[in-house]
Amino acid sequence: MGSHQDDKKKTKDEPASPDRRRFDLSDPKLPDWVKDAAFSSGGYPHAKPLDEHEFEETLTRLQIELVKLQTWAIATGLRLVIVFEGRDAAGKGSVIGALRQYMSPRRTRVVALPKPSEVELGQWYFQRYVQHLPTCGEVVVFDRSWYNRSGVERVMGFCSVEESERFLKETPHFEDLLIAENIHLVKFWLEVGREMELSRFHDRRHNPLKVWKISDVDVAAIDKYDEYTRARDRMLETTHTDRAPWTIALGNDKRRLKLNVIRHILRLFDYPDKDRKAIGEIDEKVLGQGPGFVAG
């Protein structure tokens, strides 16, 4: 269904092997070169996943703080938008699940829009997202957002380069309007190494409980990792602003990813009975700010 051919970096001592770096998504056996490199791919700074017991204990403490945050948000009428963007299989769904697990479903909405309808294609690009913005006391989480235009639409040819560039020029103004309306906007880009992305694609393709997660667009993206890197860099360069900064989180270890994303959100607000010790410190190797944090 999909294949990935590496750059053929070979030494004199390495025998020629045309299949050594080939990735076939339909093959139920994950290649050793993917399996062996997955966790450390993309220069991930930790050698192994966070201990499960430590993760569960810490996550519970953070989720208690999220409940406090939401209680305060409802009482004060806070409007909060959290945007999750990132590479395919970077962990957006996992983070969102942990974030909203104990939050009120009446006051927390996840927006994951399908491809636009014919009517929406004829509208102002931002229009279909505006209707999902929060009312007072509400948290809205975008599982992918208006930034589709600078990512999948640009790379896969669903819009022109000119349309994507116009979007990038307009987006800071659009986000300034949201902020001027006292909507708190938090933007995350989740990054994952190439081999880890392939490993997760493979798991989705061959796990009957996850197969719904992989689409034709995902399969087509397997050979477009570098194109997505260039689109990511262009997006971060033009839409990381003082008022609406991008927070970058490395997602090879989903446990560390979840904890540090939630920590970042909690540290942004001064709500009653905030337990700073329970929140803890950000792992600055895993989460940082702006284009300079993630390698090109």
Q: Is residue 103's pLDDT more than 70?
A: yes
Residue carrying structure tokens 């499960």 = 52
Alpha-carbon distance of 218 to 265, in angstroms, equals: 29
Q: Is residue 14's pLDDT more than 70?
A: no
Can you give the pLDDT at residue 218? 84
- Domain assignment present for residue 12? The answer is no
* Mean pLDDT of the 19-44 span: 91
Give percent of the chain with pLDDT exceeding 90. 88
Predicted confidence band of residue 8 (pLDDT cuts 50, 70, 90): very low
Please report how the helices 92-100 and 52-76 are oriented relative to each other, as an axis angle in degrees rounded to 10.
60
Can you give the pLDDT at residue 295? 63
pLDDT (tens digit per residue) in 212-226: 998 888 888 889 999
Q: Is residue 84's pLDDT more than 60?
A: yes
Angle at the Cα of 149 from the Cα atoms of 143 and 155, rounded to 5 degrees: 105
- Domain assignment present for residue 193? The answer is yes
Q: Is residue 277's pLDDT more than 90?
A: yes
Q: Is residue 19's pLDDT more than 60?
A: no
Indicate the range of 1-5, 45-49, 164-168, 225-229 predicted with least confidence: 1-5
Question: Residue by residue, what is the 3-state secondary structure of 83-133?
Answer: EEEECCCCCHHHHHHHHHCCCCCCCEEEECCCCCCHHHHCCCCCHHHHCCC
pLDDT (tens digit per residue) in 171-184: 999 999 999 999 99
Can you give the pLDDT at residue 221? 82
Decide: residue 42, CB within 10 A, 0-12 exposed, 13-18 middle, 19+ buried. buried
The CATH number of the domain holding residue 268 is: 3.40.50.300
Phi, psi of 247 (to 5 degrees): -105, 125
Can you give the pLDDT at residue 216? 87
Can you give the pLDDT at residue 22? 85
Alpha-carbon distance of 157 to 165, in angstroms, equals: 13
Alpha-carbon distance of 184 to 82, in angstroms, equals: 8
Structure pTM? 0.91
- Domain assignment present for residue 204? The answer is yes
CA proximity to 109, closest of 64, 70, 76: 70
- Domain assignment present for residue 160? The answer is yes
- Domain assignment present for residue 178? The answer is yes
Q: Is residue 117's pLDDT more than 80?
A: yes
Arithmetic mean of pLDDT over the chain? 92
pLDDT (tens digit per residue) in 233-251: 999 999 999 999 999 999 9
Three-state DSSP at 244 gives coil
Can you give the pLDDT at residue 1? 39
- Domain assignment present for residue 285? The answer is yes
Task: Count how many domains the chain has.
Answer: 1
Can you give the pLDDT at residue 17? 38
Give residue 268's domain range. 51-291
Q: Are 160 and 229 in contact (CB under 8 A)?
A: no
Phi, psi of 153 (to 5 degrees): -65, -40
Predicted confidence band of residue 78 (pLDDT cuts 50, 70, 90): very high
